[in-house]
Structure 1
Amino acid sequence: MSQENSIFKKWVPQKMVVPIFMITLFPHMMILSLFNMNSTFTASFLDLEVDDLQFLFSLAYAMIVCGLFIHVRFFHFFNVRNYLLTMTMLNIIVLFSMTLTTNKELVLLLRFIQGPLTILEGAILLPIIMANIKNENSKLITYSFLYGLILTGDKITTSIAKFAIQNYNHNMMVYTIMILHVVALTIYVFFFNQNRMFPKKPLYQLNLGGIFLMMISLISGAFFLIYGKKYNWFESSYIVLAFASTLIFSGLFIIHQKTTKRPLFNFEVLQSERVILGIILFFVFYILRSGMSNIYQVMATVWHWHWEYVLEIQYFNVIGSITGIILSFFLVKNKIDFRIIFSVGFTLLAFSMLWFSYLFYQETQLSAITPPLVLQGVSQGMLFTPLVLYIIGSVHPNFSGSASHAGVAARFWTTTIGFSVMQNAVLYLTTKHQFSMVKNLDKSSPIFQEQWANLSNKNSLIHLPNDADLLSAGVLKSKLFNQALLVSNIEIFRVLFILGIITAFIILVYRPIKNRLFA
């Protein structure tokens, strides 16, 4: 970009552009990571229902998917400076509004608004950073940095939440993100001039009808998957309505896109073998990742580890993720076949699941849980960036936008489906094993009688006999539940191991997969 057409002011040193604008990505990524936090773990210290928190995350992410359909149109209408100033100020207003209310419906509305604002704020920073990295691997460097933040940002954001809750209140976390936005706002004011990055195009024919259809489809699908367990699935009219809405509005969206002159999404991209394979691999990847919520549930419920301690332990996973991201960077840079990267990555991910399955005892040491946490991080870091590049690098540049949309939508569905699968699997298996344990409990067993006597004697010292018996029965029931939960997770993680190994094997034997990114 020549000096005359540069979007930066004349005094701005070229070598400062990339590091400065990577800093401005942080407030954007912190908001994104709020939608990517582990809902099971986060709900445990925010005193919220897991389902409500996950729906809050999914609602915002659904709006991010919808925002992607029109963000390029905004790039062409506004110059970069005005665009970023507007989106950043709107985000600050929404964040500040969230500190003023605890009303659930209003918070949902604010999250609804925040979703597209988040993607509109951050999406333009990526091409700016790529354009100013004077390296043939600028795209790979930018994506590696971005997805490294996505994989690790939820832990950093949770740490900020922990600090805010311990020393101030929950709003302090929001204030921190607001301060970072103000820093970014200051950078935009002093660094950008009024020049354009893209030719100006009028802001009309945005195909808002198609966006509305997609929005209803995604939100209805999220409600169906997240609250299905709570409302006993199709026994509830809410779930039936949500399921019907998902099917109807998805169908209407497809028909609308097939018949409109300016479709939001080009369905021809789904004719690409690599796009379909990439979406399938993303689905398996997120199903395997969703098992981590079970680990944190066991840490809190069975091992009784304090949530602050659990948060610190998660940084072993962060170390693994960063290692995996760096490893994937060099593998892709050296043009290693995607088939090899994926097969090794899914094999490592599968073996981390198997390793976890051998740790579900009543007590486990940190030294035992650390290696599989690191291994799981390495494997997911190794897979994430190559999976994205595999999808978007397989199509003509004219279809790259639709390929990106397909990948983001796949991430929304696979994350939500993964949450639903794990929640329902744990409920079904735990109930099944707990019922079996109660049914086969031998009350004449010396072990049972000894434990019952110890509990009864302990409780009878400070309670009346009837109350002591009730308390003892409650403790025994809790122990049976914990044991059932452990057995259930052993089964779940071994199934995940089999799924990962099968995926790795299919990748190895499926020859049409080729490294065409650099062709």
Structure 2
Amino acid sequence: MSKKRIFRSWAPEWLTRLTIFVVLLPTVMLFALSTANVGAATGFYGVEPADIQFSMLLYYAALASFTPLERRFFSRVSTKEYFLICLVLQVLISYACYHTRTLPVLFVCRFLQGVVNCGVTSICLTLLFGGLKSEHAREIGYTLFYTMILCSASLTSLVTAPLVDNYEYNVLYKMIIYTFVPGGILLLLLMNKVHLVRRVPLYQLDWASFFLYSPILILLAYVFTYGQQYYWLQDESIVWSIVAIIFLATVFVTRQLTRKRPFIHQEVFLSRAFLFGIFLVGMLYLIRGAFSITTTYFSTVLGMDPINLYELLIYNILGILIGAVIAGRLIIKKRPMQFIWLAGFFLLLLFHGGMYFLFASEADMRTFIIPLLLQGMGAGMVFTPILLFTISSVPEGISQSAAAVGVFIRFAFFGLSTALINYFSLFYSKIHGMRLSDHVSRTDYGLQERLNLYQSSLAARGMQPDLAAKAATGLLDKALQKQAFLKYAMDYYEMVVILILGLMLLIIMAPFINRIIIDVKAKQPAAATF
């Protein structure tokens, strides 16, 4: 269908594309909104940080589970009407999030936001990629979209930091409404009433598979989030959740193998290149998840306030943009995929290896500018090429199923990364904390001098001597906790370095990588914004 029939004849191409990106921006920001400021969110709702993490994973679970089904709704209703429905629902749900302080209501709203967001993103991507006919243009479109995804967390935190600093946390949902509505209305004004895809009646919708698949993802999110808090298999709720996941997954897979029109085609798993691609996607999300340790280090050890922290992350966003541009250029030039991946993972290796030596109780902010640039460049150079490789490794007929599997892998490994960080933070912090405490109590080397220093500093600020003595002990405990965190961060990044080295070796030993031809002429990204 030509562009003139999709949009009004008077609408210039630059305006339509700009409007699409204006609509996409708040949909991308919605994912990271839950964790834009975890401290502010927990204080506002009166909950634990794990509850805020779970609300984010619920949103992701909704995206992943509704992706295979969403296309049927898109094909039934005209694009303009479908977008209007999604726009109204998104505003209403965001308004409900703004007004509620009840955690169960927030969970339901976040899940519904994920479902509706899937529709909005699908419309925007179809409009955007429908006008990109050449191979190079579509590759550039992929690069731009995935770059937005990579920047979403840092960008959301950067934009929302001043709001959280001056208003209550729930005002972020009002901000989403204010940013979403103008672009949405403009897009409605620009569009004609057309069907972008072949119209298909809403019959034989596989709701049964959806109601099997979505609980699996919700239970996975529950296990990933609360497993460490409830000591994993020592808690009955975790055990029964795992049992339910296994049972539902068995029923779901059996159903897909026996249905004529499966929810997700299992043929995608017959491609060796596709399996290798989703494996790399999963590993990349584990590596990306480790970046949260760096931001935690900035806030807890160096004591950066949210605004200064997120201003520092501008350099990471800049690195992502540079890496994405380089990767896009190399893909267009048909450079070997092995070379692009190895270059990107090498930059990530430099970042994690460098941070291993930079973790310290005191540091200057400028010290981390280059490492943050390297991390962004590395992520930008590998993210889009890996996903393009994965998409290109399957036939067009099952590309939607491949995209759905890819979204599941991204969800699963994002959640797994959260679980691993929760586990190792407690495991290593406890070990190193006990060792440091034991060392202090056994040797007392410099202990009294440090306590006297704390006490004299507090007394100089007007604190009573007896209170200063008690506070000095608290400051010493805090210093020990910081040192334990630093040891944990170093240990975790050491494991990440080993993982990256293993991936680089695996990429070198997989010559079939360069035989996959990047072909996205008839494909578009999945409607998942993280």
Instruction: Tell me the TM-score normalised to structure 1 length.
Output: 0.94
Distance between the aligned counterparts of 1:446 and 1:347, measured in 2? 41
Aligned: 1:296 with 2:295: yes
Which piece of structure 1 moves more, 248-257 or 7-16? 7-16
CA deviations over 1:372-431 (Å, ceiling 9, x no partner): 111000000111111111111111100111111111100001101011111211210110
Change (3 A) 1:42 1:165: closer
Equivalent pair of 2:162/2:307 in contact (CA under 8 Å): no
Equivalent pair of 2:40/2:164 in contact (CA under 8 Å): no
Equivalent pair of 1:160/1:173 in contact (CA under 8 Å): no
Distance between the aligned counterparts of 1:452 and 1:444, measured in 2? 15
What is the deviation of 1:130? 1.5
Aligned: 1:28 with 2:27: yes
Distance between the aligned counterparts of 2:442 and 2:475, measured in 1? 15
Equivalent pair of 1:337/1:515 in contact (CA under 8 Å): no
Residue 44 of structure 1 is matched in structure 2 by 39
Residue 490 of structure 1 is matched in structure 2 by 490
Change (3 A) 1:484 1:167: closer
What is the deviation of 1:469? 4.9
What is the deviation of 1:264? 0.7
Residue 55 of structure 1 is matched in structure 2 by 54
Residue 73 of structure 1 is matched in structure 2 by 72
Residue 118 of structure 1 is matched in structure 2 by 117
What is the deviation of 1:132? 1.3
Distance between the aligned counterparts of 1:456 and 1:365, measured in 2? 26
Distance between the aligned counterparts of 1:142 and 1:76, measured in 2? 22
Q: How does 1:80-479 map to 2 (within 5 A)?
A: 80-442=79-441, 445-456=444-455, 462-463=463-464, 465=466, 469-479=469-479
Equivalent pair of 1:27/1:181 in contact (CA under 8 Å): yes
Which piece of structure 1 moves more, 75-84 or 129-138? 129-138
CA deviations over 1:257-311 (Å, ceiling 9, x no partner): 1122221101110111111111111121111111111112121222112222111
What is the deviation of 1:244? 1.4
Gaps of 5+ in 1: none
Distance between the aligned counterparts of 1:26 and 1:167, measured in 2? 23
Which piece of structure 1 moves more, 416-425 or 294-303? 294-303
CA deviations over 1:431-483 (Å, ceiling 9, x no partner): 00111122232555451221133345566884574x65543332222211111
What is the deviation of 1:221? 0.9
What is the deviation of 1:509? 1.9
Aligned: 1:512 with 2:507: no
Output the amino acid matched with 1:514: N
CA deviations over 1:18-38 (Å, ceiling 9, x no partner): 333233222322224436xxx
Change (3 A) 1:457 1:9: closer
Q: What RMSD in Å do the two structures reach over aligned CA positions?
A: 2.0
Distance between the aligned counterparts of 2:304 and 2:154, measured in 1? 17
CA deviations over 1:323-379 (Å, ceiling 9, x no partner): 111111101111111111111211211121000000111101112111111100000
Equivalent pair of 1:44/1:307 in contact (CA under 8 Å): no
Q: What is the DSSP-based 3-state SS (H/G/I as helix, E as strand, rest coil) of the residue aligned with 1:169? A: coil
What is the deviation of 1:14? 4.4
Change (3 A) 1:453 1:24: closer
Distance between the aligned counterparts of 1:436 and 1:418, measured in 2? 26
Output the amino acid matched with 1:508: I
Change (3 A) 1:166 1:34: closer
Output the amino acid matched with 1:46: A
What is the deviation of 1:64? 0.4
Gaps of 5+ in 2: 520-530
Change (3 A) 1:203 1:478: same
The percentage of counterpart residues that share the same residue type is 25
Output the amino acid matched with 1:29: V
Change (3 A) 1:202 1:436: same
Distance between the aligned counterparts of 2:15 and 2:474, measured in 1? 62
Q: What is the DSSP-based 3-state SS (H/G/I as helix, E as strand, rest coil) of the residue aligned with 1:304? A: coil
Equivalent pair of 1:443/1:449 in contact (CA under 8 Å): no
Distance between the aligned counterparts of 1:6 and 1:175, measured in 2? 34
What is the deviation of 1:181? 2.3
Distance between the aligned counterparts of 1:513 and 1:256, measured in 2? 32
Residue 481 of structure 1 is matched in structure 2 by 481
Equivalent pair of 1:7/1:80 in contact (CA under 8 Å): no
Change (3 A) 1:478 1:13: closer
Distance between the aligned counterparts of 1:188 and 1:452, measured in 2? 64
Distance between the aligned counterparts of 2:445 and 2:349, measured in 1? 40
CA deviations over 1:79-118 (Å, ceiling 9, x no partner): 1111111111111111111111111111111111111100
Q: What is the DSSP-based 3-state SS (H/G/I as helix, E as strand, rest coil) of the residue aligned with 2:408? A: helix
Q: What is the DSSP-based 3-state SS (H/G/I as helix, E as strand, rest coil) of the residue aligned with 2:37? A: helix
Q: What is the DSSP-based 3-state SS (H/G/I as helix, E as strand, rest coil) of the residue aligned with 1:358? A: helix
Distance between the aligned counterparts of 2:395 and 2:443, measured in 1? 72
Equivalent pair of 1:207/1:264 in contact (CA under 8 Å): yes
Which piece of structure 1 moves more, 436-445 or 309-318? 436-445
Change (3 A) 1:134 1:401: closer
Change (3 A) 1:455 1:170: closer
Change (3 A) 1:260 1:427: same
Output the amino acid matched with 1:240: V
Output the amino acid matched with 1:43: V
Distance between the aligned counterparts of 2:510 and 2:322, measured in 1? 28
Distance between the aligned counterparts of 1:120 and 1:472, measured in 2? 56
